Amino acid sequence: MHAAAPATSTGAKARPTLRDVALLAGVSPKTVSRVVNGEAGVSAPKTAAVQRAIAQLDYRPNFTASSLRRSSGRSAAIAAVLEDLANPFSAALHRALEDAARDRGVLIFAGSVDENPERERDLIHAFTMRQADALVVVPASDDQSYLAGEVNAGTPVVFVDRPPVGLPVDAVLADNHDGAASAVHHLVAHGHRDIAYLGDLQTIPTARQRFQGFREALTDHGIRPSAAPAVHDLHTERESEAAVRRLLSAGSPPTALFTSQNLVTIGAIRALQQLGRQHEVALVGFDDFPLADLLQPAVTVVAQDPSEMGRVAASLIFRRLDGEQWRPRTHLVATRLIPRGSGEIRGPHRG
């Protein structure tokens, strides 16, 4: 016997219900409920039949029904799967989502993936099992096609900061390429041609986009990209600090640094201060961070706008929930170079 979830008026397959499972398994809804909740008293054959029906229909129990679900059938909750809630970028993104959701009487459930694809899947599975109305995802994996079932069931999904792979959904991204290029143009304008790149994990699409922008901007100024020192796969302050120490102890050290992520920037600043070089080596960081303007020198940054990215993502989510339809696309949010001092330290090459 085969059964399929009913289609909605928009053509998307509706999520199977407990009654659908009961019908397919040939048992009562009460029996299905007892099996789902792990209660005793159900015979082995009936338990097996229910479990087969659950697998066949890809049924997901609604754990929030008693506390959150509205008469509209929505759970009044949106799941945010972010990189690291302790990171200033993720925190600002989360706050923007929360502010927009509060205006609609909706909760935000959030978790950190810590650049772990398995953790990404586990979090998304946990949130979808609780039937979140929508998903906002900063992915760690290199293929998100496993979310196709959710999208086909009509769950709005928006990716933020990194583009989706294998999944046709909206994405809200910073203009990473042009932001990185603007840092190089700025440093060259201040007399630097020996510029080192310090980057995050190469598995992260935004890190690759920033490195590409860095290389192309060097070429624009007649600087061979292969001649520029580049250190990748730095994901902690300590790793960045050690990398800067190595670069500055080399025979021909760079006169300027481009650090492509805020934690990498902080590690670089710590190294420069410990070496007493913070007023000699120029630095432009990608991503702003708290107190960057109070350091000596204050830190020049290419600032993303995670708050605006969160607002755009929330707008897309709620428009989808309200029934609007459009072809998924990428929504770019501009970056802004903020000169504060560290990026204006003069280099040896006068224009």
Dump pLDDT digits (tens) for 191-250: 999 999 999 999 888 999 999 999 999 999 999 999 899 999 998 999 999 999 999 998
| Domain assignment present for 7 | no
Q: Are residues 258 and 282 in the same domain?
A: yes
341 domain-assigned: no
- Over residues 108-144, the pLDDT tens digits come to 999 999 999 999 999 999 998 888 999 999 999 999 9
In the prediction, which pLDDT does 6 show? 52
**pLDDT given at position 198:** 98
* 102 shares a domain with 170: yes
Q: Which residues contact 58 (CB under 8 A, 6 or more apart)?
A: 5, 16, 149
Based on the fold, state whether residues 120 and 100 are members of the same structural domain.
yes
Q: What is the CATH number of the domain that holds 153?
A: 3.40.50.2300
Q: Are residues 314 and 300 in the same domain?
A: no
The rounded radius of gyration (Å) of the Cα atoms in the chain is: 25
Rounded to whole angstroms, the Cα distance separating 274 from 277 reads 8
Please give the pLDDT value at position 201.
Answer: 92
Supply the pLDDT for residue 67: 38
pLDDT at 84: 94
Q: Which two tokens stand for residue 252?
A: 């021909």
With H, G, I as helix, E, B as strand and everything else as coil, classify residue 230: strand
Cα end-to-end distance, the chain, whole Å: 78
Residue 70 is assigned to a structural domain of this protein? no
pLDDT at 34: 80
**Residues 207 and 143 grouped into a single domain:** no
Q: Domain for residue 192, yes or no?
A: yes
Cβ within 8 Å of residue 65, ≥6 positions away: none
54 within some domain: yes
Q: Are residues 189 and 293 in the same domain?
A: yes
Residue 347 lies in a domain: no
Closest to 84 in 3D by CA, of 111, 124, 66: 111
181, 300: one domain: yes
Would you give the distance in Å from CA 65 to the centre of its chain? Answer: 29
On whether both 165 and 189 belong to a single domain, the answer is no
CA pair distance 230, 211, nearest whole angstrom: 9
Q: What pLDDT is recorded for position 65?
A: 42
Which pair of structure tokens corresponds to residue 236?
């902690």
> Are 124 and 272 part of one and the same domain?
no
What's the CA gap between 264 and 211, in Å, rounded? 14
Q: Which two tokens stand for residue 289?
A: 């961070």
Assess whether the previous peptide bond of 297 is cis (omega < 30° from 0): yes
Give domain status of residue 159, yes or no.
Answer: yes
141 and 160 assigned to the same domain: yes
Structural domain for 204, as ranges:
176-304
In this structure, the answer to whether residues 126 and 219 fall within a common structural domain is: no
Is the alpha carbon torsion for 49, 55, 59, 60 positive or negative? positive
CATH number, domain of 35, equals 1.10.260.40
In a domain, 9, yes or no: no
Nearest partner of 299 among 222, 211, 186, 196, judged by Cα: 186
Number of domains in the chain: 3
Residues of the chain with pLDDT under 70: 1-14, 37, 61-75, 351
Domain boundary among 264, 285, 304: 304
- Please tell me whether residues 229 and 128 are part of one structural domain: no
Which residue type sits at 30? K
Neighbour-count burial for 38-57, b at 16+ CB within 10 Å, e otherwise: eeeebeeebeebbeebbebb
